[in-house]
Amino acid sequence: MNVPISEKDIPSSATGLIATDLNALLRNYEKLRGLAAAAECAAVVKANGYGTGASPVAQTLASAGCRTFFVATPDEALALRTDLPEADIYVLDGLIPDSAPAFSDADLRPVLGDMDEIAEWAEHCRNTGQKRPAAVHVDTGMNRLGLKADGQHRLLADLSVFDAFDPSLIMTHLACGDTPDNPKNEDQRARFESFLRKLPPARASLANSAGVFLGGPYHFDLVRPGIALYGGNPFSDRPNPMEPVVRLLGRVMQIGKARAGDVVGYGAALRLQRDTRYATVAAGYADGYFRSLGSSDDHAGAVAYAGGYAAPILGRVSMDLTVFDITDIPDGVVRRGGFLELIGDRFTVDDAGACAGSMAYEILTSLSRRCHRVYLGG
Ligand SMILES: *Cc1c(COP(=O)(O)O)cnc(C)c1O
């Protein structure tokens, strides 16, 4: 991230603030597109663009040439359609019974995950006399969505449904892409390839963010990165190759002093070891700053930053407020009305995920509506 946040970007009423660096997002997109240069690079913008704001994110990526977008739900797809009248929009969760007309009215593409969904989409297409596009999802070993072995057999035994609708994408999803050395990855890739060989030629897609890094054999015709666009680490067992995109800032409401032996916050969970200067920040778990980021006498918690200086968390995270130790930060760096960076370049979304016993995906998608949002660059 290298677009600085200037105070004029920040509304005077903001307490928690999410800053999304659209230039960093674009650099991440270009990196992924370069890694999978022989394939189309789509973008997954489900869950409100992993919490960053689907609309600005998708429009920024569209302006860089991204043509295909994936969301999870029909509502997300309808919202995205108003922003992107021309894009191909796939709905990953699949076809809810009787919802085919709503999909076709907005030119949305369901990701069909079983034979009932396939039959319903085919019938809708026959009834309306239009051969509409949809993806067919095959389960290669994750046991979540997608055609299981019996569904795959039934489809292959009678491919006439493809006379009714256009299978614009055949896809599957990796269960263990975040651990590249896991043999499950190659197993799923091989199963997918063997299924594709039995079908008439169609565009195929397997790779999420992690899959993009697994190399050419995993790219097929289209890759579907999500988390890596937003700067989260696609791997759980190696360093993050992506650039941070999101910062969470919290407004300093009060600067206080307490003595060694005093306690901080709910439950008096933390007893101060030294005389302490602290900053009370107006962001808490209702802003998406997880309660599990707090500290106690037994364990350290999250660290915030101000001007490059570390401010360790003190005690529990409350709903609306969190306290940080600024004893070691020179006077004047942290002031009432200023901001601490709770998540960003130094304490990253991945660090927050690890510290909270979660992962970057959940941290990002939990950033709440109460936070103000600003977009930098783009
Ligand atoms: C969420 C999702 C993706 C994107 O995954 P990332 O790990 O965020 O890159 C791709 N494909 C499917 C089916 C998904 O559900």
Tell me the per-residue pLDDT of 138-185, one tens digit each, with 9 for 90 and over. 999 999 999 999 999 999 999 999 999 999 999 999 999 999 999 999
Q: Name the CA radius of gyration of the chain, rounded.
A: 24
Kindly report the CA angle at 205 between 199 and 206, in degrees rounded to 5? 110
Give pLDDT, residue 137: 98
Indicate which residue of 8, 29, 31, 46 is catalytic.
46
Give the domain ranges of the chain: 37-230, 246-376
Summarize the confidence of residues 349-373 as an average pLDDT: 96
Contact 283, 250 (CB under 8 A): yes
Summarize the confidence of residues 129-142 as an average pLDDT: 98
Could you say which architecture CATH assigns to the domain 246-376?
Beta Barrel (2.40)
208 alpha carbon – ligand 1 mean position (Å): 5
Q: Please tell me whether the overall predicted TM-score, pTM, comes out greater than 0.95 for this model.
A: yes
Q: Kindly tell me if the per-residue pLDDT of 378 is higher than 90.
A: no
Q: And the tokens for 180?
A: 């590249």
Give pLDDT, residue 6: 80
Q: Kindly tell me if the per-residue pLDDT of 210 is higher than 80.
A: yes
Q: Kindly tell me if the per-residue pLDDT of 103 is higher than 90.
A: yes
The rounded percent of the chain whose pLDDT value lies above 90 is 97
Pocket of ligand 1, candidates 76, 140, 173: which has the most ligand atoms within 8 Å of its Cβ, to mutate? 173
72 alpha carbon – ligand 1 mean position (Å): 10
Give pLDDT, residue 5: 80
User: Is the four-CA dihedral 35, 36, 42, 45 of positive or negative sign?
Assistant: negative
Q: Whose CA is nearest to atom 13 of ligand 1?
A: 173
pLDDT tens-digit series, residues 46-60: 999 999 999 999 999
Residue 375 annotated as catalytic? no
Q: Whose CA is nearest to atom 1 of ligand 1?
A: 226
Give pLDDT, residue 232: 98
Q: Kindly tell me if the per-residue pLDDT of 209 is higher than 70.
A: yes
Q: Kindly tell me if the per-residue pLDDT of 275 is higher than 80.
A: yes
Cβ neighbors of 128 (< 8 A, separation 6 or more) are 104
* CB 44 less than 6 A from any atom of ligand 1: yes
Q: Shortest CA distance to 21 belongs to which of 288, 349, 284? A: 349
Contact 158, 164 (CB under 8 A): no
* CB 364 less than 6 A from any atom of ligand 1: no
Q: Shortest CA distance to 227 belongs to which of 372, 87, 360, 73? A: 360
Contact 279, 311 (CB under 8 A): yes
Give pLDDT, residue 1: 56
- 37-230: what CATH class? alpha beta
Q: Kindly tell me if the per-residue pLDDT of 298 is higher than 90.
A: yes
User: What is the DSSP secondary-structure string of 228-254?
Assistant: GGGT--S-SSS---SPP-EEEEEEEEE
Indicate which residue of 31, 184, 266, 309 is catalytic.
266
Pocket of ligand 1, candidates 31, 70, 206: which has the most ligand atoms within 8 Å of its Cβ, to mutate? 70
Summarize the confidence of residues 63-87 as an average pLDDT: 98
pLDDT tens-digit series, residues 211-249: 999 999 999 999 999 999 999 999 999 999 999 999 999
Q: Shortest CA distance to 77 belongs to which of 330, 99, 300? A: 99
* CB 226 less than 6 A from any atom of ligand 1: yes
Q: Kindly tell me if the per-residue pLDDT of 4 is higher than 80.
A: no
Residue 7: pLDDT band (50, 70, 90) is: confident
